[in-house]
């Protein structure tokens, strides 16, 4: 089996896992509908901060919290400030123990498991300096691979 076949197979498993969670989402133990980015959460509280040209998104994850992320459109950096997480993508599963940071490539959907209470921070460019979270999310992420491919094809 080629790496591409393994990759696609793992991508399908991640999407199937996400869809299974969406189907049983109750807004209490599982949040999300697959049509919107979760910008406020009771399960993994999110804090939005801004600096000139920069958007900071902090997610506080309690132990055993699982997050299926959107697909980021741009190269960005994320930091694990405290805790221990396991991140699964279509290519790999990696453990991260704070403090650490990762340069994150675009086009990747991640499943993140908090092995202990953790603070996870994404740093994104924000050239328009908007503080409209809905607008930022449209610029920064795609909700599914079809939307991501359309973005890539439009911006070649």
User: Is pLDDT of 156 > 60?
Assistant: yes
123 vs 107: CA distance, rounded Å:
16
Q: Residue 17, Cβ neighbours under 10 Å: how many?
A: 14
2-6, 39-43, 57-61, 92-96: range with lowest mean pLDDT: 2-6
User: Is pLDDT of 3 > 50?
Assistant: no
pLDDT tens, residue by residue, 62-95: 998 888 889 999 999 999 999 999 999 988 899 9
pLDDT tens, residue by residue, 107-146: 999 888 999 999 999 999 999 999 999 999 999 999 899 9
Q: How far is CA 102 from CA 16, 87, 94, 97, 155, in A?
A: 26, 11, 11, 12, 25
User: Is pLDDT of 7 > 80?
Assistant: no
Per-chain mean pLDDT for the chain: 86
Residue 2 pLDDT = 39
Assigned token pair, 37: 């980015």
User: Starting at the edge strand that comes first in sequence, how are the strands of the sheet with 84-88 ordered?
Assistant: 66-68, 111-114, 84-88, 93-97
Assigned token pair, 150: 């359309």
């Amino acid at each position: 089996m080629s790496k591409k076949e393994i990759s696609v197979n793992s991508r399908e498993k991640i999407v199937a896992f996400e869809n299974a969670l969406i189907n049983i989402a109750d807004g209490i133990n599982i949040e999300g509908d697959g049509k919107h980015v979760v910008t406020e959460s009771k399960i993994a509280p999110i804090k939005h901060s801004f600096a000139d040209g920069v958007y900071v998104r902090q997610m506080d994850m309690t132990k055993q919290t699982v997050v299926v992320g959107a697909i980021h459109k741009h190269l960005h950096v994320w930091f694990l400030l405290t805790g221990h997480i396991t991140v699964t993508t279509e290519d790999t599963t990696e453990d991260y123990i704070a403090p650490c940071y990762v340069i994150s490539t675009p086009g990747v959907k991640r499943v993140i498991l908090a092995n202990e209470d953790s603070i996870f921070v994404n740093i994104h460019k924000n050239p328009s300096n908007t503080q409209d979270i809905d607008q930022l999310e449209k610029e920064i992420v795609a909700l599914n691979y079809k939307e991501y491919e359309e973005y890539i094809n439009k911006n070649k």
